[in-house]
Structure 1
Amino acid sequence: MTTDLPLLSNARSDRVRSVRSLGRRAVRQRVGRFVVEGPQAVRELLSYAGHAASDLYLTSSAAERHTEIVELANAVRVAVRLCTDEVLAAMTDTSHPQGMIAVAEPVHVPLEEALGAVTGRDNPASRLFVVVLTNVRDPGNAGTVLRAADAFGAAAVLVSDASVDIYNPKVVRSTVGSLFHLPVSVGAPVPDLLEACRAAGLRVLAADGTGETSLPEVDLSAPHAWVMGNEAWGLEPEVRDLCDDVVSIPIVRAESLNLAMAATVCLHASSSAAR
């Protein structure tokens, strides 16, 4: 029973400071841990990647409301620790962490393994595409693209070395648990990512407003990779040159779509073509 657990009440304790420090990228990389906030994300972590979780911190009221999450934590042998609202708030960079957070190890996989998800023999037709993030710097955009990739059945997400850290708290919050649903590979330079995609038999498609090929004209029935660029300047010319085609989204009136919206449109098109 959670009510039998000791209550963490000192917001200045070493444990609290240690969890709080995971908001900094340098600390996350040094200790190999990151924070997952909120019931939905924590539930997905425990359900899909429970082996990566180490600690669950939650208030007494959250424990009463979300008994199934506590049961999940116990089932995968994650330490459950009750704490006050003040302690929980001190552990995160948000004012309202929704009553619980978890600490976990990174869940990304090697590039070859991520691409194996689309090239495997038992791969369903709905997972014939991957997403490549190049120089994506905004945490909210990165998280939203990852969530869209999950929603529309992408086989994997590949994140370049020049992009935002996917374990940034804002990225993790934006994925709302999708981070734990599909293979994510991080850290490779963009040319290496595109070369690996092509070697795996994927057609490499640049999503860019300068493209002369319109999205409705593209054959998305074969395995392919969508290459997404930076929020401000899009894809660099040298990256576009490495792609098999440059695809634009037809727009009626607005000047352009932001990265997350453009990615969602492209991924929906890929998902529809696979049905």
Structure 2
Amino acid sequence: MLENPRSPRVRSIARLAKKTVRQEAGYFLLEGPQAVREALTYKPELLSDLFGTPTAVERHQDITNLAAEAGHEIEFVTEEVLASMADTVTPQGFIAICRQFPTALKDIFSEDLKLIVILQEVRDPGNAGTIIRAADSAGADAVILTGRSVDLYNPKVVRSTTGSLFHLPVAVDASLEDVRDRAAAVGLTVLAADTGGESLLEARRDGTLARPTAWLFGNEARGLSDEELALADRVFTVPIYGSAESMNLATAASVCLYESAFAQRGS
């Protein structure tokens, strides 16, 4: 059992909370039983180390079984050691080290696509992770982070996906122009979300949402620039019927993605 929270090994694991360290190592942290469970179920080959407190291992026997099936051994650690490794205050008993696994653009666009998500300059890790989770829930084929979007393996992004990171392809470090050209080449209609666009109800009425679609979402504070909006085929806004000043990016993205999912499946 690892018992010293200040040991070099524990400190090296904790340093994966920093982007520069993650980029150099090519690994990232997974925290909590849900994230570890999804990794063991969908991408067990990517895990290099798995840690758990005795209490958590006893409580989550399914994780123990999944680890055994994948040939991974859970190394016991104390609560203090786990807290020192984690980015969160309460890591809920499990931490794993996982190899980064972004998908290449060419691999995403080699598939028959119905719905993809493009995140341009999305900087907030909670928003990015929640949109990946919403995309997974809506049955999207892929998510692509373009421009200076947040690091996909930021601990808060990973936590916010609640395991969806392991369910669908995600590409990073792409240029918006390149993604837009690839989308057009495979017949995807690029729809941008912006407060100055047409009402989303229009897209529902005229059948636009039933087409194979790439939804483009911009920065939380600035939105999409005129140049970025010009790359889209059409621009829509989610109407606000109450007195709210605006809508959170992840919430608006979820509405757009589910409108597309309903339309595509209804047709």
Task: Identify the TM-score tier after normalising by the shorter chain.
Answer: over 0.9
TM-superposed CA distance for 1:117, in Å, is: 3.9
Identity of aligned residues (%): 51
Gaps of 5+ in 1: 1-6, 120-127
Q: Per-residue CA shift, 1:139-186, capped at 9, x if unaligned?
A: 000001000001111110001141000100000010100110111111
Where does residue 15 of structure 2 map in the other structure? Answer: 21
Matched, 1:273 2:259: no
Pick from 218, 221, 226 the counterpart of residue 210 of structure 2.
Answer: 221
In 2, Cα distance between equivalents of 1:78 and 1:14: 22
* Contact 1:118 1:130 survives alignment (8 Å): no
**AA aligned opposite 1:14:** P
* Contact 1:148 1:267 survives alignment (8 Å): yes
TM-superposed CA distance for 1:10, in Å, is: 0.9
In 2, Cα distance between equivalents of 1:109 and 1:154: 15
Pick from 260, 266, 270 the counterpart of residue 250 of structure 2.
Answer: 260
Pick from 102, 108, 124 the counterpart of residue 102 of structure 2.
Answer: 108
Pick from 156, 160, 173 the counterpart of residue 187 of structure 1.
Answer: 173
TM-superposed CA distance for 1:13, in Å, is: 1.2
TM-score by length of 2: 0.95
TM-superposed CA distance for 1:193, in Å, is: 1.5
Where does residue 162 of structure 2 map in the other structure? Answer: 176
TM-superposed CA distance for 1:256, in Å, is: 1.7
TM-superposed CA distance for 1:266, in Å, is: 0.1
**AA aligned opposite 1:157:** V
In 2, Cα distance between equivalents of 1:258 and 1:67: 37
Question: How do 1:1-275 residues align onto structure 2 when only pairs under 5 Å count?
Answer: 7-119=1-113, 128-211=114-197, 213-218=198-203, 219-253=208-242, 254-275=244-265
TM-superposed CA distance for 1:77, in Å, is: 2.1
Q: How many residues align?
A: 260
In 1, Cα distance between equivalents of 2:135 and 2:246: 21
Q: Secondary structure at the match of 2:191?
A: strand
Q: Secondary structure at the match of 1:186?
A: strand
In 2, Cα distance between equivalents of 1:181 and 1:257: 27
Q: Secondary structure at the match of 1:274?
A: helix
CA RMSD in angstroms, aligned pairs only: 1.1
Task: Report the more deviating stretch, 225-234 or 46-55.
Answer: 46-55
In 2, Cα distance between equivalents of 1:259 and 1:141: 7
Deviation >6 Å, runs of 4+: none
TM-superposed CA distance for 1:195, in Å, is: 1.4
Where does residue 125 of structure 1 map in the other structure? Answer: none
* Contact 1:130 1:154 survives alignment (8 Å): yes
**AA aligned opposite 1:233:** R
Gaps of 5+ in 2: none
**AA aligned opposite 1:45:** A
**AA aligned opposite 1:217:** E
In 2, Cα distance between equivalents of 1:261 and 1:157: 16
Q: Secondary structure at the match of 2:184?
A: helix
Q: Secondary structure at the match of 2:216?
A: strand
In 2, Cα distance between equivalents of 1:18 and 1:37: 16
In 1, Cα distance between equivalents of 2:249 and 2:233: 20
* Contact 1:54 1:79 survives alignment (8 Å): no
Q: Secondary structure at the match of 1:8?
A: coil
In 1, Cα distance between equivalents of 2:115 and 2:140: 5
* Contact 1:118 1:129 survives alignment (8 Å): no
TM-superposed CA distance for 1:251, in Å, is: 1.3
TM-superposed CA distance for 1:191, in Å, is: 1.2
TM-score by length of 1: 0.92
In 2, Cα distance between equivalents of 1:47 and 1:115: 25
TM-superposed CA distance for 1:107, in Å, is: 2.2
